[in-house]
Amino acid sequence: MQIAIVLYPDFTALDIIGPYEVLGRLPGAEVVFVAEDPGLVRNDQRSLSVSPEATLDEVTEPDIVLIGGGPGFFGQLGDGKLHEWLRTVDRTSTWTTSVCTGAPILAAAGLLQGRRATTHWSAFGELERFGAIPAHERVVVDGHYVTGAGVSAGIDMSLTLAGEIAGEETAQMVQLIIEYAPEPPFRAGSIDVAPASVVERARAALG
């Protein structure tokens, strides 16, 4: 089972590393990081670089496609090589998935037309702009598309997908291995519950 995780400049690290930790532990999993071009790809904080194992041209029929988000997603909304690759591999993939603002990239490629999808709370307008139906949920499954909300939701999305692929007990085993039992010290993880002042600062930080 080949899992292709897409890299592009200014990606958010947890968007892809969370799912990597979950999906890479499934039986028979072969994870390959792919990018349009060879060479290191730097994340949004400019302090971490990941080296893709293959270019898009070298990965033609992955079983699972995963694209994360990050500030760099704006540069990936125009039609081009990545969109062409996404449309091609989507024809044969068992699952096409996204985390955070990876969903608008899938939508811009024409894959989420008329489908329910979620993304980071700041980017629901982008989903709607490209014909998807925004769903304010942590994880959304519509057909063979699975989308996760912002950043940390990639772990939830991947565990949901793991249950679909390998069964709930295996997914729970992975959850236990990575000890995913969040107990955040603050009630500010959703725009619905965060204090107004925090939301204002978050919007400013996101630009």
**Residue range(s) defining the domain that contains residue 129:** 2-182
How many structural domains comprise the chain? 1
Long-range contacts of 187-192 (CB under 8 A, 24+ apart): 189/152, 190/121, 191/121
Residue 194 resides in a domain: no
Residue 187 resides in a domain: no
Choice among 7, 34, 77, 100 that is catalytic: 100
Residue 151 resides in a domain: yes
DSSP 8-state assignment for residue 11: B
Q: How far apart are CA 167 and CA 6, in angstroms?
A: 25
Residue 128 resides in a domain: yes
Residue 17 resides in a domain: yes
- CATH assignment at residue 155: 3.40.50.880
Residue 202 resides in a domain: no
Residue 64 resides in a domain: yes
Note down pLDDT in tens along the chain; length 207 residues: 999 999 999 999 999 999 999 999 999 999 999 999 999 999 999 999 999 999 999 999 999 999 999 999 999 999 999 999 999 999 999 999 999 999 999 999 999 999 999 999 999 999 999 999 999 999 999 999 999 999 999 999 999 999 999 999 999 999 999 999 999 999 999 999 999 999 999 999 998
Residue 149 resides in a domain: yes
Residue 46 appears among annotated catalytic residues: no
Q: How far apart are CA 106 and CA 29, in angstroms?
A: 23
